[in-house]
């Protein structure tokens, strides 16, 4: 079965702190895709990143970075020098191969960045 676990329900940090959001996934497929989405209070999901199972290179985009480790089935997300505007719920999601287009979401981590 496909499953995504985000063990951190809520995280609260002070502005400029670095914060890492954890994501652990389960799938038997060898081809799969991992995603991170941001959901601000407005509700609209914002796509952050897509990573396929064959690409374990870490990625950095501005203050955001992602660490994909197949050995531990993890796809963690780090925000460096957090800002108040980063406050949102962040979802990790999994889409697996075999023609499936479904996304399975984790339960989300609510990040609050305090000034």
Partner 1 sequence: GAVVSQHPSWVICKSGTSVKIECRSLDFQATTMFWYRQFPKQSLMLMATSNEGSKATYEQGVEKDKFLINHASLTLSTLTVTSAHPEDSSFYICSARGGPEGYEQYFGPGTRLTVT
The residues that touch partner 1, with contacts defined as CB under 8 A, are 37, 42-45, 47, 50, 91, 101-108
Whichever of 61 and 71 has its CB closer to partner 1, that residue is 61
Whichever of 67 and 107 has its CB closer to partner 1, that residue is 107
CB of 15 to partner 1, least distance (A): 24
Q: What is the 3-state secondary structure (H, E, C) of 22-89?
A: CCEEECCCCCEEEEEEEECCCCCCEEEEEEECCCCCCEEECCEEEEEEHHHCEEEEEECCCCHHHCEE
CB of 18 to partner 1, least distance (A): 25
CA distance 86 to 101: 28
Whichever of 44 and 62 has its CB closer to partner 1, that residue is 44
CB of 107 to partner 1, least distance (A): 5
CA distance 15 to 86: 9
- CA 94 distance to own-chain centroid: 10
Whichever of 39 and 67 has its CB closer to partner 1, that residue is 39
CB of 108 to partner 1, least distance (A): 6
């Amino acid at each position: 079965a496909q499953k995504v676990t985000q063990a951190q329900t809520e995280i609260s940090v002070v502005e400029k702190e670095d914060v890492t959001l954890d994501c652990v996934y389960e799938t038997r497929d060898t081809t799969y895709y991992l995603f991170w989405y941001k959901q601000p209070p407005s509700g609209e999901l914002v796509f952050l990143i897509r990573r396929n199972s064959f690409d374990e290179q870490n990625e950095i985009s501005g203050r955001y970075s992602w660490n994909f480790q197949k050995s531990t089935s993890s796809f963690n997300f780090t925000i460096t020098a957090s800002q108040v505007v980063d406050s949102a719920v962040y979802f990790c999601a999994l889409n697996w191969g075999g023609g499936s287009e479904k996304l399975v979401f984790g339960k989300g981590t609510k990040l609050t960045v305090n000034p």
